[in-house]
Amino acid sequence: MADIRNDFVGIKSPNPFWLASAPPTDKEYNVVRAFKAGWGGVVWKTLGEDPPIVNVNGPRYGAIWGADRRLLGFNNIELITDRKLQTNLQEIKAVKKAWPDRAVVVSLMVPCEEDNWKAILRAVEETEADGVELNFGCPHGMSERGMGSAVGQVPEYIEMVTRWCKANTRMPVIVKLTPNITDVRYPARAAKAGGADAVSLINTINSITGVNLDHFAPEPMIDGKGSHGGYCGPAVKPIAMNMVAEIARDPETAGLPISGIGGITTWRDAAEFMALGAGNVQVCTAAMTYGFKIVEEMIAGLSEWMDARGHASLDAIVGRAVPNISDWQHLNLNYVTKARIDQELCIKCGRCHIACEDTSHQAITSMVDGVRHFEVIDAECVGCNLCVNVCPVENCITMEPLAAGVVDQRTGRTVEPTYANWTTHPNNPAARVAAE
Amino acid sequence: MTDGPFKEGIAAGRLAPQDYAGNFADLHPPFDRHEAQVEADRCYFCYDAPCVTACPTAIDIPLFIRQIATGNPMGSARTIFDQNILGGMCARVCPTETLCEEACVREAAEGKPVQIGRLQRYATDTAMAAGRQFYDRPASTGKRVAVVGAGPAGLACAHRLAMYGHDVTVFEARPKPGGLNEYGIAAYKTVDGFAQAEVDYVTAIGGIAIENGKALGRDLSLGELTGGFDAVFLGMGLGGVNALRAEGEEAAGVDDAVGFIAELRQASDLAALPVGRRVVVIGGGMTAIDAAVQAKLLGAEEVTICYRRGKERMNASDYEQDLAAANGVTIRHWLQPRRVVAEDGTVRAIELEYTREEGGRLAGTGETVTLAADQVFKAIGQTFEPAGLNGSGPSIAMEGGRIRVDAEGRTSLDKVWAGGDCVAAGDDLTVTAVAQGRDAAEAMHRALAR
Ligand SMILES: Cc1cc2nc3c(=O)[nH]c(=O)nc-3n(C[C@H](O)[C@H](O)[C@H](O)COP(=O)(O)OP(=O)(O)OC[C@H]3O[C@@H](n4cnc5c(N)ncnc54)[C@H](O)[C@@H]3O)c2cc1C
Ligand SMILES: Cc1cc2nc3c(=O)[nH]c(=O)nc-3n(C[C@H](O)[C@H](O)[C@H](O)COP(=O)(O)O)c2cc1C
Ligand code: SF4
C-alpha cells in the first residue's frame, strides 16, 4: 500500500486532502463531519475582526452547468465568516483537541495594520491550531475594504503583511494567492521574500456566471442587481494548474511549498496538481457539490494509482512534472505528428471533417469513392490535434509521430532525428542575428 | 369483476374497468424539459448527419436537437415543421428504429441512438400546447386545389399549398379527417385525441376547407374535380384488404385487422369493445402487431400472430416484435392459413400449414396445425381500391395496383398529382405520405405559378 500521509511545512495529516477555507469549514459541526468522512485537514473559514461582517440575504452563489446539469463552474459573493471571532476560536480549539491527527489551519483576514495581525495571531495560537493561511485572495466585497485580493494584487503589501505575521507567530504561515493578477510569480516571490512557509492557490477568479435576460442583471441577482463573484469549481482547474506550475518552475520560488487549490474534484485532479508541484491539495466546490464522502474516492483512487505505478509515497510524485514544463521556444520543432483515424472505431459523425474543413487545414475527407469515409490527408495535416479534441469517441483519432527519416507529405521535408527549436530556427529573426 | 379473459367467444368487458386506461396509456411518455435537455445533449451535431438522410421528410435533426439543448424548443419546432407539418404525429408513430435512430452514429457507437422521436415530440408538443403557429398564409392566389383524402399525405399537401396562398378544399370520405392517424395508428401511440388536435393545428393556417363525408367516386367524380379546380391531389390511402385465400374465411369472427383497429380508435368506451378469448392474427407487418397487441390489451387471453415466413422477413421491426412479445403476444413463423374451422358459421379454430422456402419460393410442407380461435384477424396487407377513380374519363395509369407517379408526384393525368399509400412509390409509412404530399404541393405550386 502506498503511503499517502502528508507533511506540509511540518503540518501532518493522514492524507493530502484538505478542505479549503470556505463554508464547509465554517463551523465545528461541518468540520467534525468532514473529519469523520476522512478529510486529512481543513483550512478554517477565514476569520476577521469583530463585529463580524454580514452577508447578503439573497442568493450568494451562481453556477454554470454541463450536460445533465453537472456543475462545471461555481461562483460566490460570500464574505469571510459572519460568526463572532470568539465562537470560531472556541470551536477550532475543541476540534483540534478532539482530532489531533488532522490538520487544522486557520485562515485570516484583518485590516493592513501590524497590530491587527499581531492580535489575531495571538488569539489563534491559543487554539493550538497547526498554522495560519493569510487570505489575500477573496475578490469581492472584502477587497472593496482594502483586504483580500486588494492586498494580494500588490506584491509589496503581501511581503509586508507576511513579514509581520512571521515576526509575530511561531505557527507556519501559508499565503493564499489571488489569481486576479497578470503574473502570479510576482505575488509568490513577494510571499517568499516576506518569509512565508508556503503559498496556496488559487483563490477564486472574478466572474459573472450568467446574465438574467428578463431583468438584464447578472446572476446571482439581488433585488435586480448583481456584483461580480469569485469563480471556482472544475472550470478553473486548468487556470489554477498553470499558476501552480508557474510558481513551481520559477527559479526564484523553486522549492517554496505549494498547497494546490482550484477545481479539484477527483483523485486524478489531485495527482495532477501534485505532479505540478503542489505538496498537498485543498478542495471546496467538489465538497459543496457532492458532500464530504467524495474524499473516500480521492483516497482510494490516489492509493490505487500510486500502487499500480509503484510510487511509494507522496514525495515520489510531488513536482515530478515540473521539469517537463517548458517554454514554447524550447519545444522540439522536429517532432512531426499526423492524425490517424481508427476506421474500426469511427462512428462516422463527421465532426473531425467539418472542424478541419471549416476552421483548419482541409485535411480530412468526408467522402471517398462515393462512400461516407473520414480519413486524414497527410499532405495537409499540420498535426494540430483539433480532430482528436472534437472526436466523440475516445482513442478513435490519435496523433502519431512520424519516424525520423520519413518524408512529411505536407512539407516535403524528411523528418530529422535531432532536436531543434525556435531559438535556432531560420525564420526566427533573433536566431539569425545570433547566428551572424 | 366481469367474465374476464376466460369468457368463451367474442366478448366485451374482459378487464376490470379501471385497467383500460393504463393498458392504453402513452407508449412513450413525453420527456419533461430536463429529460429533453439531457437527451438533446447526447447529439453530436454530426456533419452531413446520417439521420437527416434517413428521414423521409429530411428534417434538420441536429439543428432541432441543438435548439432544444439551448432552451429554444419553439425554434426547434419550427425547424421540424418546416420540413414536416405532421412532425407531431411522426414523432409518435415513426418506426424510428428503422429510420433516423437506426442511422444515428450513437447507434453505431454504443447501440443507444439519440432518442430523436421523443425529442421531436417534446419540441412539437411545446409549440402545439402553446398554440404557436409559424406560418402565415399570404394573400390568396385565387388558385383552387382539390385534395382527396385528409390523411397525412392530403394534410401535408394542403398545408404546403396554403403556405403559398392557394385555396384548398379537402374531400374526405370518412366522418372525420386524419386518415389512418385517426383510424389506424395504435391507440397507445397517439393518445388524448392527438390526431384531431393535429388536424386543427395544421388547418389553422387558413385557406384549407375540409369537407368530411365526401367520397370521390360516390359523391364526386375525378372529372368534376379536374373541371372545377386548377389542380387535384389524390391522397386516398388504401381502402381494400387482402383476402386470406383460406377456405371458410367468410365465417363470423374472421375480421380484418384494420377495421378492428378503426373501431377501437373510435370507441368511446373500450370496455364495450368485444374481443375474442383466443385471437389469431395472420400477417407479419405493423398492422398485425398493432391488432395483436391491442387485442391483448383489451383482455384477450391468448393472442398468436402467424406469419408465413421467417422472423427476418417480417415487415414489423425488431422493436415492434419485441413490443408484441412484451405484451404477451406469441409470434409463430412459417405458417400459412389453410382453412377456417367454423361451427354454426362462427369461427372455432384455424388450420394452418407449415411452409418453407424452396429456392426463394414459398411452399407448403403438407404438415398442418390447428389453433383454437374465437377471432381471426386478417392483416396481410391492404390494397388500393381504384373504384373511386372511376368516371374520370381517361383512366389513370396504375403500377402494381397503385397509382403511378413521377418523381414530382404527377400522375398520368393532366393537373392530377398523388401521394401517400395510394401511389406505387409509397412505403406505407406516415412520414413518407407526408413527404410525398409536401413534395407534390411544391410541384403543383410550380405548375400553378406558370
Ligand atoms: C393499422 C395500421 C397501423 C399503422 N401504424 C403505423 C405506424 O405506427 N407508423 C407509421 O409510420 N405508419 C403506420 N401505418 C401506415 C400509415 O398509417 C400510412 O402509411 C399513412 O396513413 C398513409 O397516409 P395516406 O394519407 O396516404 O393515407 P390514409 O392515412 O389512409 O388516408 C387516406 C384518407 O383518404 C380517405 N379516402 C379514401 N378514399 C377516399 C375517397 N374515395 N374519397 C375521399 N376520401 C377518401 C380515407 O378515408 C383517409 O382519410 C399504419 C397503417 C395501419 C393500417
Ligand atoms: C462559497 C465560497 C466561499 C469561500 N470563502 C472563502 C474564504 O472565506 N476564504 C478563502 O480563503 N477562500 C474562500 N473561498 C475560496 C476557496 O477556498 C477556494 O480557494 C476556491 O473555491 C477554489 O477551490 P475549488 O475550485 O475547489 O472550490 C470560498 C469559496 C466559495 C465557493
Ligand atoms: S490534426 Fe489538425 S490538421 Fe491534422 S487532420 Fe486533425 S484537425 Fe486537421
In chain A, which residue's Cα lies nearest the Cα of B69?
Answer: A67
Q: Tell me: the pLDDT tens digits for B275-301?
A: 999 999 999 999 999 999 999 999 999
ipTM above 0.90, yes or no: no
Residues framing ligand 2 (Cβ under 6 A): A 20-23, 45-46, 74, 76, 78, 80, 107, 135, 137-138, 176, 203-204, 232-233, 236, 261-264, 283-286
User: What percentage of chain B carries pLDDT values higher than 70?
Assistant: 98
Query: B50 contacts in A (CB within 8 Å)?
Result: 348, 372
CA distance linking residue A390 with residue A341, whole number of Å: 13
Question: For the stretch A332-359, what's the b/e string if a residue is b when 16 or more beta carbons lie within 10 angstroms of its beta carbon?
Answer: eeeebbbbbbeeeebbbbbbbbbbbbee
We report the CATH number of the domain holding residue B277 as 3.50.50.60
Measured from the alpha carbon of residue A389, the closest ligand is: 3
We report the CATH number of the domain holding residue B107 as 1.10.1060.10
Sign of CA dihedral B226, B229, B231, B234: negative
Pick the last residue of a domain from B350, B380, B410.
Answer: B380
The alpha carbon of residue B47 is apart from the nearest alpha carbon of chain A, in Å, by: 5
In a mutational test of the pocket of ligand 2, which residue from A176, A203, A241 has the highest number of ligand atoms less than 8 Å from its CB? A203
Provide the residue range defining the domain that includes B336: 242-380
CB < 8 Å from A in window 125-154 of B: none
Atom number in ligand 2 closest to CA A135: 11
CA distance linking residue A209 with residue B378, whole number of Å: 62
Q: Number of A:B CB contacts under 8 A?
A: 37
Measured from the alpha carbon of residue B219, the closest ligand is: 1
Q: Which helix (H) or strand (E) holds A61?
A: strand A61-65
- Assess if residue B16 is contained within a domain: no
Least confident range from A150-154, B47-51, B246-250, B296-300: namely B246-250
| Å from CA of A370 to ligand 1 middle | 36
Q: How confident is the model at residue B247 (pLDDT cuts 50, 70, 90)?
A: confident
**Whether B105 and A347 lie within 8 Å, measured CB to CB:** yes
**Whether B47 and A366 lie within 8 Å, measured CB to CB:** yes
Query: B34 contacts in A (CB within 8 Å)?
Result: 69
The active-site residue, picked from A112, A138, A284, A381, is A138
Residues framing ligand 3 (Cβ under 6 A): A 339, 356, 360-361, 363-364, 376, 381-387
Residues B171 and B290 grouped into a single domain: no
Residues B58 and B123 grouped into a single domain: yes
pLDDT digit string (tens) for chain A, length 436 residues: 899 999 999 999 999 999 999 999 999 999 999 999 999 999 999 999 999 999 999 999 999 998 888 999 999 999 999 999 999 999 999 999 999 999 999 999 999 999 999 999 999 999 999 999 999 987 788 888 888 888 899 999 999 999 999 999 999 999 999 999 999 999 999 999 999 999 999 999 999 999 999 999 999 999 999 999 999 999 999 999 999 999 999 999 999 999 999 999 999 999 999 999 999 999 999 999 999 999 999 999 999 999 999 999 999 999 999 999 999 999 999 999 999 999 999 999 999 999 999 999 999 999 999 999 999 999 999 999 999 999 999 999 999 999 999 999 999 999 999 999 999 999 999 876 555 4
Over range B184-198, report the average pLDDT.
94
Residues B351 and B304 grouped into a single domain: yes
**Whether B38 and A353 lie within 8 Å, measured CB to CB:** no
In chain B, which residue's Cα lies nearest the Cα of A358?
Answer: B47
In chain A, which residue's Cα lies nearest the Cα of B104?
Answer: A349
Query: A349 contacts in B (CB within 8 Å)?
Result: 44, 46-47, 49, 105
Residue of B47, B51, B110, B112 to mutate, interface with A, max A Cβ within 10 Å: B47
Residues B269 and B326 grouped into a single domain: yes
Please give the grid coordinates belonging to residue A308.
Answer: 499500480
- Assess if residue B139 is contained within a domain: no
Residues B234 and B343 grouped into a single domain: no
The SS3 of residue A36 is helix
**Whether B44 and A392 lie within 8 Å, measured CB to CB:** yes
* Closest by Cβ to B105, choosing from A349, A353, A366: A349
Please give the grid coordinates belonging to residue A346.
Answer: 469511427
Q: How confident is the model at residue B4 (pLDDT cuts 50, 70, 90)?
A: confident
The number of distinct structural domains making up chain B is: 3
CB atoms within 10 A of CB A367: 12
CB B387 within 8 A of CB B396: no
**Whether B41 and A354 lie within 8 Å, measured CB to CB:** no
Which pLDDT belongs to residue B6? Answer: 87
Amino acid identity of residue B149, one-letter, is G
Residues B163 and B292 grouped into a single domain: no
- Assess if residue B387 is contained within a domain: no
What is the residue with the minimal CA distance to atom 5 of ligand 2? A22
What is the residue with the minimal CA distance to atom 1 of ligand 3? A383
Query: B41 contacts in A (CB within 8 Å)?
Result: 67-68
Which pLDDT belongs to residue A164? Answer: 97
Please name the residue that has the C-alpha cell 446571482: A220
CB < 8 Å from A in window 159-178 of B: none
- Assess if residue B399 is contained within a domain: yes
Atom number in ligand 1 closest to CA B219: 42
Residues B340 and B287 grouped into a single domain: yes
In a mutational test of the pocket of ligand 1, which residue from B182, B232, B236 has the highest number of ligand atoms less than 8 Å from its CB? B236
The single-letter DSSP state of residue A282 is: E
Which pLDDT belongs to residue A67? Answer: 82
Pick the last residue of a domain from B94, B129, B164.
Answer: B129
HEC states along chain B?
CCCHHHCCCEECCCCCCCHHHHHCCCCCCCCCHHHHHHHHCCCCCCCCCHHHHHCCCCCCHHHHHHHHHCCCHHHHHHHHHHHCCCHHHHHHHCCHHHCHHHHCHHHHHHCCCCCHHHHHHHHHHHHHHCCCCCCCCCCCCCCEEEEECCCHHHHHHHHHHHHCCCEEEEEECCCCCCCHHHHCCCHHHCCCCHHHHHHHHHHCCCCEEEEECCCECCCECHHHHHHHCCEEEECCCCCEECCCCCECCCCECEEEHHHHHHHHHHCCCHHHCCEECEEEEECCCHHHHHHHHHHHHCCCCEEEEECCCCHHHCCCCHHHHHHHHHCCCEEECCEEEEEEEEECCEEEEEEEEEEEEECCEEEEEEEEEEEECCEEEECCCEECCHHHHCCCCCCCCEECCEECCCCCCECCCCCEEECHHHECCCCCCHHHHHHHHHHHHHHHHHHHHC
CA distance linking residue B8 with residue A24, whole number of Å: 70
Q: Is B48 on the interface with A (CB under 8 A)?
A: yes
Over range B302-313, report the average pLDDT.
94
- Assess if residue B205 is contained within a domain: yes
Query: B44 contacts in A (CB within 8 Å)?
Result: 349, 351, 392
Query: A366 contacts in B (CB within 8 Å)?
Result: 47-48
Q: Is B44 on the interface with A (CB under 8 A)?
A: yes
Please name the residue that has the C-alpha cell 422521436: B117
- Assess if residue B23 is contained within a domain: no
- Assess if residue B9 is contained within a domain: no
Cα dihedral B108, B110, B111, B112, rounded to 10, equals: -110
Query: B38 contacts in A (CB within 8 Å)?
Result: 67-69
Known catalytic residue at A138:
yes
Residues B101 and B160 grouped into a single domain: no
In a mutational test of the pocket of ligand 2, which residue from A76, A209, A232 has the highest number of ligand atoms less than 8 Å from its CB? A232
Considering only CB atoms, which residues of chain A are within 8 Å of chain B? 67-69, 347-351, 353-354, 366, 372, 392-393
Residues B404 and B328 grouped into a single domain: no
| For residue B153, pLDDT beyond 90 | yes
Pick the last residue of a domain from B359, B380, B401.
Answer: B380
* Closest by Cβ to B41, choosing from A67, A348, A351: A67
Q: Tell me: the pLDDT tens digits for B59-109?
A: 999 999 999 998 999 999 999 999 999 999 999 999 999 999 999 999 999
In chain B, which residue's Cα lies nearest the Cα of A391?
Answer: B44
Residues B318 and B399 grouped into a single domain: no
- Assess if residue B195 is contained within a domain: yes
Amino acid identity of residue B450, one-letter, is R
Q: How confident is the model at residue B1 (pLDDT cuts 50, 70, 90)?
A: very low
Residues B226 and B312 grouped into a single domain: no
Q: Is B112 on the interface with A (CB under 8 A)?
A: no
B276 lines ligand 1 (CB under 6 A): no
Q: Is B49 on the interface with A (CB under 8 A)?
A: yes
In chain B, which residue's Cα lies nearest the Cα of A345?
Answer: B109
Residues B184 and B62 grouped into a single domain: no
CA max distance for chain B = 68
Q: Tell me: the pLDDT tens digits for B409-434?
A: 999 999 999 999 999 987 899 999 99
CB B257 within 8 A of CB B441: no
* Closest by Cβ to A353, choosing from B42, B47, B49: B47
Please name the residue that has the C-alpha cell 383460406: B246
Which pLDDT belongs to residue A407? Answer: 98
